[in-house]
């Protein structure tokens, strides 16, 4: 999706504000959102790309205005309702509907340390052959999916070189829609700064992106 979240290379986003000795959470509610998000994911009603897609669908002006945890919180409410774990009325009222059954949380305190990460959940063991080899020249395809993708706009149509093969992973453009995984190789691809940003960029610098096989074509 060509949304504002895809902001690599955009200008006008303001200054970088650095806070010294920044606390992990700036308000208690942030820590609660963080924990709720992680623990509700354990219900397996959605995967990480579904949740990213949800965040990306926040209207642009709101997305830019919101803080990081506010975006998570906004998306979380929608994910919970859409998955059927809670109802819209329950979300609005903050109270369990009378008569609705009480479930048993899948993760207890003791299990917190061993919860799998998003990366662990995204890896696939499928014996899929890679289309590209290290050192090979590739071009990022000129794709403009209307929905979730992890191919940033700034790289589309650009020429790069395969730096490394990261193995096989689920394909985000598919799993964001609960479609079958389409497991495929993910590569680290090197793009020269000048290729991305034009003649005035450094002749020496580069940007490396991790891109799925489906995002690439031979150059």
Partner 1 sequence: MDTTRRGFLAATSAAAGDHAQAADQHHDHDHQAVPSDPTLRVKALESLLVEKGLVDRAAMEALIDAYEHKIGPHNGARVVARAWVDPGYKQRLLADAPAAISELGLPKPSGLLAVENGPRLHNLVVCTLCSCYPSSFLGLPPVWYKSAAYRSRAVIDPRGVLREFGLELPEDVEVRVWDSTAELRYLVLPERPAGSEKLGEEALAALVTRDAMVGVAKAKPPQAGGGA
Partner 2 sequence: MKATRRGFLTAAGAAAAAQDHVHAQGHDHDHQAVPSDLTLRVKSLESLLVEKGLVDRAALDALVDRYEHAVGPRNGARVVARAWVDAGYKKRLLASAAAAMEELGFASQTGENLVAIENGPKVHNLVVCTLCSCYPWAVLGLPPVWYKSAPYRSRAVIDPRGVLREFGLELPEDAEVRVWDSTAELRYLVLPERPPGAEKLSEEALAALVTRDAMIGVAKVTLPQAGGRP
54-83 residues near partner 2, rule: CB under 8 A: 60-61, 65
Residue 108 touches which of partner 2, partner 1, none (Cβ within 5-8 Å per kind): partner 1
* Given 11, 15, 120, 203, the residue binding partner 2 (CB under 8 A): 15
Q: Is 26 in the site for partner 2 (CB under 8 A)?
A: no
d(CA 65, CA 4): 11
CB 16 to partner 1: min, Å: 4
Residue 103 to residues 39, 110, 174, Cα–Cα distance (Å): 14, 18, 30
d(CA 92, CA 98): 14
Cβ closest to partner 2, residue 2 vs residue 111: 2
* Residues numbered 127-156 forming contacts with partner 1, rule: CB under 8 A: 150-152, 154
What would the two tokens of residue 145 be? Answer: 């999916």
Nearest to 169 by CA among 183, 187, 151, 156: 183
* Given 168, 212, 213, 214, the residue binding partner 1 (CB under 8 A): 212
Residue 141 to residues 8, 153, 203, 215, Cα–Cα distance (Å): 17, 10, 23, 6
Q: Is 93 in the site for partner 2 (CB under 8 A)?
A: no
* Residues numbered 116-145 forming contacts with partner 2, rule: CB under 8 A: 144
Per DSSP, the residues of 110-165 read GGGGGPPPHHHHHB----PPPS--TT-EEEE-----SS--S--GGGTT-EEEEEEE
* Residues numbered 165-194 forming contacts with partner 2, rule: CB under 8 A: none
Q: How crowded is the C-beta side of 73, counted as CA atoms within 13 Å?
A: 12
d(CA 184, CA 168): 5
CB 46 to partner 1: min, Å: 8
* Residues numbered 97-116 forming contacts with partner 1, rule: CB under 8 A: 100, 102-105, 107-113, 116
Q: Is 22 in the site for partner 2 (CB under 8 A)?
A: no
Residue 137 to residues 132, 140, 159, 189, 198, Cα–Cα distance (Å): 9, 10, 7, 9, 19
CB 13 to partner 2: min, Å: 9
Residue 70 touches which of partner 1, partner 2, none (Cβ within 5-8 Å per kind): partner 1
* Given 138, 161, 168, 186, the residue binding partner 1 (CB under 8 A): 186
Binding site residues, partner 2, CB under 8 A = 2, 14-15, 17, 60-61, 65, 144
């Amino acid at each position: 999706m060509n949304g504002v979240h895809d902001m690599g290379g955009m200008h006008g986003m303001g200054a970088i504000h650095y806070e010294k000795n920044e606390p992990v959470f700036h308000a208690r509610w942030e820590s609660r959102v963080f924990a709720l998000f992680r623990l509700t994911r354990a219900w397996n009603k959605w995967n990480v790309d579904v949740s990213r897609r949800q965040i990306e669908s926040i209207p642009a002006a709101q997305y830019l205005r919101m803080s990081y945890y506010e975006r998570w919180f906004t998306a979380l409410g929608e994910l919970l309702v859409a998955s059927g774990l809670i109802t819209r009325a329950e979300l609005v009222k903050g109270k369990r509907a009378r008569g609705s059954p009480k479930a048993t949380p899948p993760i207890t305190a003791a299990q917190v340390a061993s919860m799998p990460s998003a990366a662990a959940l995204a890896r696939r063991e499928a014996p899929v052959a890679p289309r590209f080899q290290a050192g090979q020249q590739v071009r990022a395809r000129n794709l403009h999916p209307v929905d979730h993708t992890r191919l940033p706009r700034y790289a589309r149509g650009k020429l790069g070189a395969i730096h490394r093969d990261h193995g096989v992973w689920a394909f985000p453009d598919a799993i964001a829609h609960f479609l079958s995984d389409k497991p495929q190789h993910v590569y680290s691809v090197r793009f020269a700064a000048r290729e991305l940003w034009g003649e005035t960029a450094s002749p020496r610098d580069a940007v490396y992106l991790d891109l799925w096989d489906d995002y690439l074509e031979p150059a």
